[in-house]
């Protein structure tokens, strides 16, 4: 069973109706022995990136566990606490706040609903009923940066991101450190647009970096990545995808993708809750779990020698021989 809310207003209306429609029979979800799982998303489920990964995780939970799922798209910062609280009031067992920008709201709401389990994806806060879930951003981004550092012809690469918080800083650190490990001459340009979904801003930022000589651009964005992809195709430079395997978005330009398969991580978390094994702790998954964190499909233009070097570097990252500076 899936419940979908396009925006916060719809979410509130449905909650109001559900409150007055409560009945002792015909109920679904936890009352019928099914896990109820919800997610608050900052963007849209068709962004081919961060938000879509959460949606796919929910669908896995629904299909493989028989759970009731629900989600709300485009949750703005002022609405975060109310959206999370509404799901808790309606008896959802596990609520994902999908992004580090939910950190403060997640901590606040978790304290008010101690019987509900909350997970902040890319968060930093924990508590008895609050965990954070994230990929080891540094490790997987290091590999993407390594490829970029090897493939750049100008010794200039770039990142276009939206907001600045710890998970994003770790990604940029990994990408930059990996590029310089591959090529000490590399210069890394970084821009924060302030908007995860604005395609125009994403493209404008990418074009500005390309104008300064960057010939590999990595978007750390949601739907706005479409603008970055447009820019790299228009100017015929390289790109490195993020979250999903994005080679198909620009088959002539994307070198590989920094894949963070949050759908699998989210599914695993739901399984642990269903088994009564939830822990309010930091959950970090790295390159040791390739079904979650890895590089995506290589473009045929990436030489086999570079691919072999990536495998060697991966071993150094897993063994912690290479760590974040």
| Mean pLDDT per 10-residue segment, the chain (325 residues) | 53 41 32 85 96 98 98 98 99 98 98 99 97 97 99 99 95 99 99 97 99 99 97 99 96 98 97 97 97 98 99 99 97
Same fold, 2-135+262-285 and 137-260+293-318: yes
- pLDDT for residue 5: 53
pLDDT of residue 3: 60
CATH classification of 2-135+262-285, choosing from 3.30.9.100, 3.40.50.10470, 3.40.50.720, 3.40.50.2300?
3.40.50.2300
What's the rounded Cα separation, in Å, for the pair 229 and 113? 42
CA distance 125 to 119: 9
Helix residue spans in 8-160 (DSSP H): 8-20, 50-65, 80-89, 103-112, 137-151
Q: How many CA atoms lie within 13 A of 203 on its CB side?
A: 11
pLDDT at 320: 97
pLDDT number for residue 74:
97
The confidence score (pLDDT) of residue 33 equals 74
**212, two tokens:** 């300064």
- Position 212 scores a pLDDT of 99
For 18, the token pair is 């559900």
Task: Read off the tokens for 118.
Answer: 């909350």
Residues 6+ apart with CB under 8 A from 298: 247, 255, 256, 307
- In this prediction, residue 25 carries a pLDDT of 26
Per-residue DSSP letters for 21-74?
T--SSS--GGGGT--EEEEE-SS-TTSSSHHHHHHHHHHHHHHHH--EEEEE-S
As a whole number of angstroms, the distance between CA 122 and CA 117 comes to 16
The CB-based long-range contact list for 281-284 (8 Å cut-off, 24+ gap) reads: 281/126, 281/131, 282/124, 282/126, 282/131, 282/132, 282/134, 283/131, 283/132, 283/133, 283/134, 284/134, 284/135, 284/136
C-alpha–C-alpha distance, residues 118 and 325, integer Å: 31
CB 35 within 8 A of CB 63: no
**Domain range annotation of the chain:** 2-135+262-285, 137-260+293-318
pLDDT of residue 27: 28
CATH of 137-260+293-318, one of 2.20.28.160, 1.10.760.10, 3.40.50.2300, 3.30.110.40: 3.40.50.2300
């Amino acid at each position: 069973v899936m419940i979908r809310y396009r925006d916060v207003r719809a979410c509130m209306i449905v909650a109001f109706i559900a409150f007055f429609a409560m009945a002792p029979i015909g109920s679904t979800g936890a009352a019928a022995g099914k896990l109820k799982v919800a997610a608050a998303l900052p963007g849209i489920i068709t962004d081919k990136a961060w938000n879509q990964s959460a949606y796919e995780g929910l669908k896995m939970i629904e299909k493989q566990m028989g759970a009731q799922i629900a989600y709300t798209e485009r949750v703005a910062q002022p609405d975060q606490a109310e959206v999370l609280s509404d799901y808790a009031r309606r008896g959802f067992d596990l609520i994902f706040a999908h992004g580090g920008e939910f950190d403060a709201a997640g901590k606040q709401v978790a304290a008010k609903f101690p019987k509900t389990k909350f997970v902040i994806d890319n968060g930093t806060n924990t508590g008895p009923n609050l965990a954070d879930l994230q990929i080891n951003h540094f490790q997987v981004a290091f590999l993407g940066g390594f490829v970029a550092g090897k493939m750049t012809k100008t010794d200039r690469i770039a990142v276009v991101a939206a907001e600045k918080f710890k998970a994003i800083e770790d990604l940029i650190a990994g990408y930059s450190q990996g590029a310089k490990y591959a090529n000490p001459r590399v210069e890394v340009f970084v821009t924060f647009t302030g908007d995860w979904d604005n395609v125009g801003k994403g493209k404008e930022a990418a074009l500005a970096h390309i104008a300064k000589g960057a010939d590999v651009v990595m978007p750390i964005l949601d739907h706005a990545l479409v603008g970055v992809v447009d820019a790299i195709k228009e100017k015929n430079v390289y790109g490195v995808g993020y979250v999903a395997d994005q080679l198909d978005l620009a088959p002539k330009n994307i070198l590989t993708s920094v894949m963070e398969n949050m759908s699998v991580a989210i599914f695993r978390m739901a399984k642990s809750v269903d088994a009564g094994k939830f822990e309010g702790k930091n959950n970090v998954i790295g390159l040791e779990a390739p079904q979650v964190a890895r590089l995506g499909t290589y473009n045929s233009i990436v030489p086999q020698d570079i691919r072999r070097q990536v495998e060697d570097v991966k071993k150094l990252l897993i063994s912690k021989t290479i760590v974040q500076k």
